Structure 1
Amino acid sequence: MTIPYLQASGVQDVSVTSSIWKVVVSLVFVIAFIPACLWLMKRFQFAQMKLGQSDIKIVTVQSLGTKEKLMLVEVEGERLLIGVTAHSINHLRSFPSKSKSFASLMDEVDRENSADDKNGKEGVQ
Structure 2
Amino acid sequence: MRSGTQQLQQIPASQPATSAGSMLTQVSSVLAFIVLLILCCAWLARRFGFAAKKVGSQSLKISASVSVGQRERVVIVDVDDARLVLGVTAQNITHLHTLPPKAPEEDPTPTTPADFRQVLQTLIKRPGKPQ
> TM-score normalised to the size of structure 1?
0.46
Q: Which structure shows the higher helix fraction?
A: 1
> TM-score normalised to the size of structure 2?
0.44
Q: Which structure shows the higher strand fraction?
A: 1
